[in-house]
């Protein structure tokens, strides 16, 4: 019996799947959260230089830089590139970064496969292709199943920072907000710098705070001194 002024919401299979996975994650995986602020001035300058003469779909996105840096940081912190197999934890050699993509009535995080062995322009092109094929329902089984870590980037929205829920069977997810000018202190002086806040949610069964802190410090260094990324 419907109550006046209320509309019952029927769950689509998509919403039911998200609901089941998120309840499973939050009830089984003890989450903890670690954040860092990353100065993006150098990456933005390097990206502008790379995009000189490129147009449209050929342009490299900031997300591609983040994925590139993440792949290198995950290679240095293999404990975060792992999945549960039942009650057992397995580290995975391939770095397959799931990219959270909003689709009608939900979201999906298909994997950008083998990120460690791809250069920046390749990652940028494949990211664009992955988003297009996700929206066109043309994902491949491995992309659907084999992510080893997830990036949720809400930088296209006016979001300063947020925390995400780990995607089972993975053990960590990085949530990034918008890169924006903020007042920071450099050499004792308050100055404006493009800053981005990244928050890692991790499964405390699998990893501890010091490891996550080291990982975030490594990611921050790679993005703040991006010569090794291009």
Partner 1 sequence: MRVPVEMPRLGYDTEVGKIGSWKAKVGDAVTAGQPIGELETEKATVEFEAPTAGTLVEIVTAAGSEAAVGAVIAYIDDGK
The contact set with partner 1 (CB under 8 A) reads: 13-14, 16-18, 83-85, 103, 106, 108, 134, 137-141, 144-145, 168-169
Cβ partners under 8 Å of residue 196, min gap 6: 37, 38, 40, 155, 176, 177, 178, 179, 180
> Considering beta carbons, is residue 18 or 50 the nearer one to partner 1?
18
Contact 92, 148 (CB under 8 A): yes
Q: How far apart are CA 174 and CA 216, in angstroms?
A: 10
Is 204 part of the annotated catalytic residue set? yes
**Distance, CA of 96 to CA of 111 (rounded, Å):** 5
Mention every residue, 6+ apart, whose C-beta is less than 8 A from residue 148.
Answer: 74, 81, 82, 83, 92, 94, 95, 96, 97, 98, 111, 170
Pick 133 or 182: Cβ nearer partner 1 = 133
What minimum distance in Å lies between the beta carbon of 17 and partner 1?
Answer: 4
Comparison of 54 and 140: residue with beta carbon closer to partner 1: 140
Task: Say how far apart CA 146 and CA 161 lie, in whole Å.
Answer: 27
Q: Which of 54, 91, 135, 204 is catalytic?
A: 204
Tell me how far, at minimum, the Cβ of 168 lies from partner 1, in Å: 7
Instruction: Name which of 11 and 33 has its Cβ closer to partner 1.
Output: 11
- Please compute, for residue 34, the number of CA atoms within 13 A of its CA located in the half-sphere on the CB side: 17
Residue 171 beta carbon to partner 1: minimum distance, rounded to whole angstroms:
13
Minimum distance of partner 1 from residue 107's CB (angstroms): 9
**Which residues are known catalytic residues?**
204
């Amino acid at each position: 019996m419907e109550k006046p002024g209320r509309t019952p919401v029927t769950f689509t299979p998509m919403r039911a799947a998200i609901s089941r996975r998120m309840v499973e994650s939050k009830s089984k995986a003890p989450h903890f959260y670690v954040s860092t602020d990353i100065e993006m001035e150098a990456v933005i300058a390097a990206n502008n230089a790379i995009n000189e003469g490129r147009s449209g779909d050929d342009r490299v996105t900031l997300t591609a830089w983040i994925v590139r840096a993440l792949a290198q940081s995950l290679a240095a912190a293999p404990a975060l590139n792992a999945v549960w197999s039942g009650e057992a934890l397995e580290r995975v050699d391939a770095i397959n970064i799931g990219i959270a993509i909003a689709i009608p009535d939900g979201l999906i995080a298909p994997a950008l496969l083998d990120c460690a062995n791809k250069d920046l322009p390749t990652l940028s092109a494949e990211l664009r292709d992955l988003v297009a094929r996700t929206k066109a329902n043309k994902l491949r089984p491995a992309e659907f199943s084999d992510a080893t870590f997830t990036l949720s980037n809400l930088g296209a929205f006016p979001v300063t920072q947020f925390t995400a829920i780990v995607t089972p069977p993975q053990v960590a997810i990085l949530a990034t907000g918008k890169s924006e000018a903020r007042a920071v202190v450099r050499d004792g002086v308050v100055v404006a710098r493009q800053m981005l806040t990244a928050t890692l949610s991790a499964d405390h069964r699998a990893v501890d705070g010091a490891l996550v802190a080291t990982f975030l410090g490594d990611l921050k260094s790679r993005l703040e001194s991006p010569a090794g990324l291009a």
